[in-house]
Amino acid sequence: FCLYSQSIVQVTSESSKHTKKIHEILIRLKDEAGQIILPLNFIPVAERYGLMHLIDRWVIQNLFIFINQSRRQEAALDCQPNNFYMINLSGASLNDDQFLDFVQEQLDLYSIAPQTICFEITETMAIENLGKTTYLIQQLRAIGCSFALDDFGSGMSSFGYLKNLPIDYLKIDGIFIKDIVQNRVD
């Protein structure tokens, strides 16, 4: 596996040097020849064999190692205190009874400020496991992390359940904003 960082940037020209630099952390797989394999080609297999919770843990641990090492290097420009990292979670982590302990252990082990971490889960997964999702969000927020609901609009899309989920960020599904510059409706 390897991690990629996708910057989330402001679309307006109003910019401040005090604004957080937001990075969505993405996972890729390298094959034997070094070719990059996209998640849609390996995630379904990992889900089928019950390995997603281990992949979630790998992403968290390796991101935290990277942040810790970069922080120690004076020349590292990509890990300033105003960076904010968004980490996708699978539904398997909702069912992992040791997940919260793992997150706390990793935060402590690598001296990561919880305020710089945001976990996200898709709308569909959140609704399928509303009770577990709510519990996970409350516990992660209690230790200082943020939480985002991803792909909003691709599933049930009810504002009713939204007001009961203690999320910090709502990420609208790309289909609704894909042509935002050219299409007034978008």
Q: pLDDT tens digit string along 58-104?
A: 999 999 999 988 877 744 454 455 789 999 999 899 889 999 999 99
Q: What is the pLDDT of residue 156?
A: 56
Task: Give the pLDDT score at 23.
Answer: 93
Q: Quick check: 113 and 144 in contact, CB under 8 A?
A: yes
pLDDT given for residue 115 in this prediction: 95
φ/ψ of 110, rounded to 5, equals -105, 10
pLDDT at 76: 47
Q: Which pLDDT does position 90 carry in this prediction? A: 92
Q: How confident is the model at residue 158 (pLDDT cuts 50, 70, 90)?
A: low
Q: pLDDT higher for 5 or 185?
A: 5
Q: Worst-scoring range by mean pLDDT, 2-11, 17-26, 43-52, 151-160?
A: 151-160
Predicted confidence (pLDDT) at residue 164 exceeds the cutoff of 90: no
Q: Global pTM?
A: 0.85
